[in-house]
Structure 1
Amino acid sequence: MRISSYSVRHKSVVFFFILCLSISGFMAYERLGKLEDPDFTIKTAIVVTPYPGASPHEVELQVTDLIEQAAQSTEHVVEIRSESRAGLSLVYVDVDESMRSHAISHTWESLRKKITAMQAELPPAFCLPPYRMTTATSMGFLWPFPERGTVKKNSPTMRIISGGNC
């Protein structure tokens, strides 16, 4: 027997199944989460370390390698990537994607402590910038970067923020 001929002959059975599917679909819809902007946790830390006046090779040997070693000894770290530029070290630390949000803050705290502990191994003229913990949610961050040469040194849009032990 074909489905189409059966549904024409037994309309009440077809309407019953449609009604059951509609009710179960409505109940499933009501149970869905309704946050407009649900929170999510970013599972990558970026250690930005300025080292003014140093070549990329010096930054790699004297700063980036030490930070990578400290990060490797941190629990739940699955990948470490780094960039060494003239006067700047960038180290990206990724944690396991299956980690829960509440456990990640402990991992970042452990990473911060290990990097602070290795500060004595850094060059004498060097010091770490102040520690800033920034947590992003689904809204993210928007950082405007003006084009070179469009901002004058004493303009109100450019401010020098000092801090730390340097």
Structure 2
Amino acid sequence: MSLNLSALAVRERSITVFLIFLIAVAGTLAFFQLGRAEDPPFTVKQLTVITAWPGATAQEMQDQVAEPLEKRLQELKWYDRTETYTRPGLAFTMVSLVDRTPPSQVQEEFYQARKKLQDEALKLPAGVIGPMVNDEFSDVT
């Protein structure tokens, strides 16, 4: 003699309907108890660096601009990786911090990145514009 749940549900129809109603009410109550925020708190741990050098080839941008900046950014405490795209006269670098970076340290790390990039900018070839840093991804206003 095995327990057949389907047969039991059909046989005890009133109990089955009551349990379905109870689960639906509990789910509805749980839904209205969920926390909501218009702007949920999260920290974006990425910044972009744009550097321009009018007249330079993509290879020159890579060798003389992007690589020195990337090497300098690797000195950051919470550095994870960089992705750089170069075009003639333009280098676009996305810098990512490690996921475990404490949110309280992100702005300080971005400040340090700006300082390192400013120091490295003095060593870049003449005519280079930037590097220009954008870390305001989470600002929606």
TM-score w.r.t. the length of structure 2 is 0.74
The residue matched to 1:121 in structure 2 has which SS? Answer: coil
1:64-111 Cα shifts (integer Å, max 9, x gaps) = 111101111112222211122221122121222344554432322221
The answer for the alignment partner of 2:123 in structure 1 is 121
Q: More strand per residue: 1 or 2?
A: 2
C-alpha separation in 1, matches of 2:42 and 2:126 = 40
- Cα 1:100–1:26, aligned 2, differ >3 Å: closer, same or farther? farther
The answer as to 2:18 corresponding to 1:3 is no
Question: In 2, are the aligned partners of 1:54 and 1:87 still within 8 Å (CA)?
Answer: yes
1:118 CA drift (Å): 1.7
Residue by residue over 1:16-63, the C-alpha shift from the partner in whole angstroms, topping out at 9 and shown as x without a partner, is 422431232122201223346656544332210111122223222221
Higher helix share: 2
Pick one of 61, 67, 70 that aligns with 1:65: 67
Q: 1:13 is matched with which residue: 12, 15, 25? A: 15
Q: Choose between structure 1 and 2 for higher RCO, CA contacts under 8 A separated by at least 6 residues.
A: 2
Supply the distance in 1 between the matched residues of 2:9 and 2:127 (Cα, whole angstroms): 84
Report the secondary structure of 1:30's partner residue.
helix
Q: Is the 8 A contact 1:60 1:84 kept in 2?
A: yes
Contact conserved, 2:54 with 2:89, CA < 8 A, in 1? yes
CA RMSD of aligned residues (A): 3.0
Q: What letter corresponds to residue 118 of structure 1 in structure 2? A: E
Alignment of 1:90-101 (within 5 A): 90-99=92-101, 101=103
State the secondary structure of the residue aligned to 1:14. Answer: helix
Q: Name whichever of 69-78 and 122-131 sits farther off.
A: 122-131
Aligned-partner Cα distance in 1 for 2:6–2:137: 57
What are the superposed Cα offsets for residues 110-160 of structure 1, whole Å, 9 maximum, x if unpaired? 2111111222222244452565543346x69xxxxxxxxxxxxxxxxxxxx
Extract unaligned runs of 5+ from structure 2.
none
Which stretches in structure 1 are left out of the alignment for 5+ residues? Answer: 141-166
Contact 1:67 1:91 in 2 (8 A): no
Q: In structure 1, what residue type is equivalent to 2:50?
A: V
**Equivalence for 1:24:** 26
Q: SS at 1:105's partner residue?
A: helix
Could you tell me whether the CA contact under 8 Å between 1:77 and 1:94 is conserved in 2?
yes
Provide TM-score, normalisation by structure 1: 0.65
Bigger drift between 63-72 and 89-98 goes to: 89-98
